[in-house]
A and B are shown apart, each in its own frame.
Chain A
């Protein structure tokens, strides 16, 4: 037997699948956004409001991978978006292969923007490249401003951070500026939005960013 030195990530096969999927999505002109968060962070409410606000301008689809089925596919479809539920069979994350299967089953014809709602978990999803064009993390005010210290990888892997439920700020000891500072220490380029999907505060900045990213993705 000979010894072969590799120094390769255990998930190297996934990384290659993810890169191939990203390239195909670029050719199709569909921006896939991987949404990661804890359970109960307000993904459903944020997505519902985002779809309602943007569905006249963009064709939106949602790949729902949360085991607990946080977003009802019918509810999303009623808002004017295409939706599909993906079963991960107990797996704590989505990988590129599962994402591809879900996207193919849903169909992406004429879709501008697709959201992958990843499993509600701040650890495992950050370790697997899904093939998404952008990674977005959602952190709600009740979870606390110390999350960047506890789950650094999630913040390092995300292109944007959406701090949700800002309408509850007066009830929690959540320091927005400190949280932003902690996130930027880990990832200086991260875009940060503070929103309340309930009152609509801050939604405009988040939606403007989505529109800009979607049109940039279509450029060659």
Chain B
């Protein structure tokens, strides 16, 4: 149950952030999910909908998932290519000595939140 574990950590990370930043309510959470991270988005969203109910600050939040492309690096010709299209064999030189550069990550990009001391209007805070 890979997705469940990630969601539990995500909820805990956001709970801690909410306390630090005096956040009262989180409206949305945007994640960047690598194309080949192995995360099944439907299962992930289901797990999120289940767990958010246990965290008051997250209860009404929406999960937004953005996909980041997978890129593979070829040791033999030192070029990069699209992982999903060509798999493990380099389309430039045919070598199999390749490894993934990006596409395996899962990062919290941003959240929309209300804080205790929030004034009128929109503000962007970088943490």
CA distance A118 to B112 in the complex (A): 36
User: What 0/1 pattern do residues 95 to 116 of B give for CB contact below 8 A with A?
Assistant: 0111110001011111111110
Please give the number of chain B residues whose Cβ is less than 8 angstroms from any Cβ of chain A in the complex: 41
- Give the chain B neighbours of A93 by CB distance below 8 A: 2, 5
B13 x A2 contact (CB < 8 A): no
A14 in the interface, Cβ–Cβ < 8 Å? yes
A188 in the interface, Cβ–Cβ < 8 Å? no
Q: Which of A152-170 contact B (CB under 8 A)?
A: 152-153
Interface range on chain A: under 10, 10 to 19, 20 to 34, or 35 or more? Answer: 20 to 34
B106 x A10 contact (CB < 8 A): yes
- Give the chain B neighbours of A13 by CB distance below 8 A: 9, 12-13, 15-16
User: What 0/1 pattern do residues 10 to 25 of A give for CB contact below 8 A with B?
Assistant: 1111101000000000
Min CB–CB distance A128 → chain B (angstroms): 8
User: What 0/1 pattern do residues 37 to 78 of A give for CB contact below 8 A with B?
Assistant: 000000000000000000000000000000000000000000
A6 x B110 contact (CB < 8 A): yes
- Give the chain A neighbours of B5 by CB distance below 8 A: 91-93, 95, 124, 128
- Give the chain A neighbours of B111 by CB distance below 8 A: 3-4, 6
Min CB–CB distance A18 → chain B (angstroms): 11
B10 in the interface, Cβ–Cβ < 8 Å? yes
A123 in the interface, Cβ–Cβ < 8 Å? yes
Main secondary structure of the interface of B (DSSP, over half): mixed
Most buried by A among B4, B5, B126: B5
Main secondary structure of the interface of A (DSSP, over half): mixed
A152 x B113 contact (CB < 8 A): no
Partner of A92, one of B2, B10, B98, B127: B2
B38 x A11 contact (CB < 8 A): no
A220 in the interface, Cβ–Cβ < 8 Å? no
Q: B residues near A, CB below 8 A?
A: 1-2, 4-6, 9-10, 12-13, 15-17, 21, 27, 31, 38, 75, 88, 96-100, 104, 106-115, 118, 122-127
Cross-chain pairs A/B with CB under 8 angstroms, 10 sampled: A4-B110, A7-B107, A8-B127, A10-B107, A12-B9, A14-B12, A91-B5, A149-B97, A150-B88, A185-B97
Q: Which 10 A-B pairs have the closest CB atoms?
A: A13-B12, A13-B13, A1-B112, A2-B123, A10-B10, A12-B13, A152-B99, A6-B108, A11-B9, A1-B27
